[in-house]
Amino acid sequence: MHPDPSDSFSWRQVAVPVYGPTLLVSIGAGAILPLVALSARDLGASVGIAALVVAMLGIGQLIGDLPAGALAARIGERRALIIACLVDVVALVGAFLAPTVLALSAAVFVAGLANAVFSLARQAYLTAVVPMRIRARAMSTLGGIFRIGSFIGPFVGAIIVLRIDIASAYVFAAVMSLAAAGLAALLPDLPTPPERPSPGGAAPERITVFSVLAQHRRVLLTLGTGVLVLSAARATRQAIVPLWAEAQGIDAATTSVIFGISAGVDMLLFFPGGLIMDRYGRAAVAIPAMITLGVGFVLLPLTHTALTVGLVACLMGLGNGISSGVVLTLGADAAPVQGRAQFLGGWRLCADLGNALGPLAIGGITAIATLGLATLVMGVVTWLGSGWLARFIPVRLRE
């Protein structure tokens, strides 16, 4: 009789070395993200070029997703986490020292690459060490810790800008990433899974990113597409609420308060969401969350005051918060033992494509129609995505 892996698991194994780096890195990232565009403007960039500099972070993450899987598989998740944090330190110091817009763009791009490796390695590590019965809680807590750090970071960044200057925020973020590397070093290495034998007793088959993606293409094209839509809805929510508030004549300070309250609702619900997923299945959270986000998109064009916009933003925060960790959990459930890191690279690419395509779609629709119509379209797409996920989320999980 094989021992239950959950018998040897303790939350203390991951509390500091996995969740700690996530908190530190997200605080650092939260401190600088609102300031990247301002740094570019200070270096002489136009508004459009400044927006492109900000976009380099997401572009770096997209390009880095698949190589991140290959790197983690080659050197191990713990080493990948440490290297990602150290590369992030170099990128942030580069941003601090950047004399030109081009240099700042390169630094932000490298930070995106580092973020891709960091995000994949921590997910792959948790997938391997956390038993199935509490997997969703572990992944939701990871998502919740990231949200908490992202909520704290901008306030820290604001204090640094007021007391010192914008550039110093990059130094603070670099210190956070360096401390994260130190915590990640406390992780034990994962055992290497046995190689997959080839038929006829030949040498073990070499596992590559593309061989893993080809073998698991069905789940990536079906469940991965649903995750793409969910990620697009989440990313669009962050962009469209401030745009709609501005269109209704709501000032920036009030919009910030609305966003802060919505983020507070978001942060409160990550652990209950994980508990529901562990007890009742992943669909019990993923489907209601997408329906709730869709309702928020459809209701938003009907709002015209700070109060009503705030109420809808909180409703969307509820849907986003309860689904914290659902993308991570579904990826962990679908990942094979052989080629786990490579598969998760493809999985994260699906999610990151959604993060990029959602706001782009809103921009495209708004260019030829209205912001209200774009919001309604996103609501319908989100509802269709909920039906798609309901069709492809597995009812029974592999042990």
Per-residue pLDDT of the chain (399 residues; tens, 9 = 90+): 334 444 566 777 777 888 999 999 999 998 888 788 888 888 888 877 887 888 899 899 999 999 999 999 899 899 999 999 999 999 999 999 999 999 999 999 999 999 999 999 999 999 988 888 899 999 999 988 988 988 888 888 888 888 888 888 999 999 999 999 999 998 887 766 555 555 555 555 678 888 899 999 999 999 999 999 999 999 888 878 888 888 888 887 787 788 788 888 888 888 889 999 999 999 999 999 999 999 999 999 999 999 999 999 999 999 998 888 899 999 999 999 888 999 999 999 999 999 888 888 887 888 888 888 989 999 999 999 999 999 999 876 554
Q: What is the model's pLDDT at position 201? A: 53
User: Does 223 lie in the same domain as 172?
Assistant: no
Q: What is the dihedral of CA 38, 44, 49, 50, to 10 degrees?
A: 0
User: Does 225 lie in the same domain as 174?
Assistant: no
Q: Is residue 398 part of a domain?
A: no
Q: How far apart are CA 136 and CA 330, in angstroms?
A: 9
Q: Is residue 194 part of a domain?
A: no
For 301, residues 6+ apart whose C-beta sits below 8 A from its C-beta are 244, 372, 375, 376
Q: What is the model's pLDDT at position 337? A: 87
User: Does 385 lie in the same domain as 312?
Assistant: yes
Q: What is the model's pLDDT at position 172? A: 95
Domain boundary, last residue among 149, 184, 219: 184
Q: What is the model's pLDDT at position 13? A: 73
For 116, residues 6+ apart whose C-beta sits below 8 A from its C-beta are 60, 61, 62, 63, 64, 65, 67, 68, 348, 352
User: Does 233 lie in the same domain as 109?
Assistant: no
Residue 27 sits in which domain range?
13-184
Residues making up the chain, counted from first to last: 399
Q: What is the model's pLDDT at position 298? A: 95
For 367, residues 6+ apart whose C-beta sits below 8 A from its C-beta are none
User: Does 359 lie in the same domain as 216?
Assistant: yes
Q: Is residue 137 part of a domain?
A: yes
Q: Which residue carries 């933003």 as its tokens?
A: 313
User: Does 223 lie in the same domain as 174?
Assistant: no
Q: Is residue 201 part of a domain?
A: no
- Radius of gyration over alpha carbons of the chain, in Å? 21
Q: Is residue 7 part of a domain?
A: no
Q: Is residue 114 part of a domain?
A: yes
For 175, residues 6+ apart whose C-beta sits below 8 A from its C-beta are 28
Q: Is residue 1 part of a domain?
A: no
CATH number of the domain within which 279 lies:
1.20.1250.20
User: Does 132 lie in the same domain as 60?
Assistant: yes
Q: Is residue 296 part of a domain?
A: yes
User: Does 18 lie in the same domain as 161?
Assistant: yes
Q: Which of 22, 184, 210, 227 is nearest to 115 (CA)?
A: 22
Q: How far apart are CA 246 and CA 225, in angstroms?
A: 32
pTM over 0.75: yes
Q: What is the DSSP string of 85-118?
A: HHHHHHHHHHHHH--SHHHHHHHHHHHHHHHHHH
User: Does 217 lie in the same domain as 108?
Assistant: no
User: Does 169 lie in the same domain as 115?
Assistant: yes
User: Does 281 lie in the same domain as 150?
Assistant: no
Q: How far apart are CA 175 and CA 178, in angstroms?
A: 5
User: Does 240 lie in the same domain as 171?
Assistant: no
Domain boundary, last residue among 124, 151, 184: 184
Domain count, the chain: 2
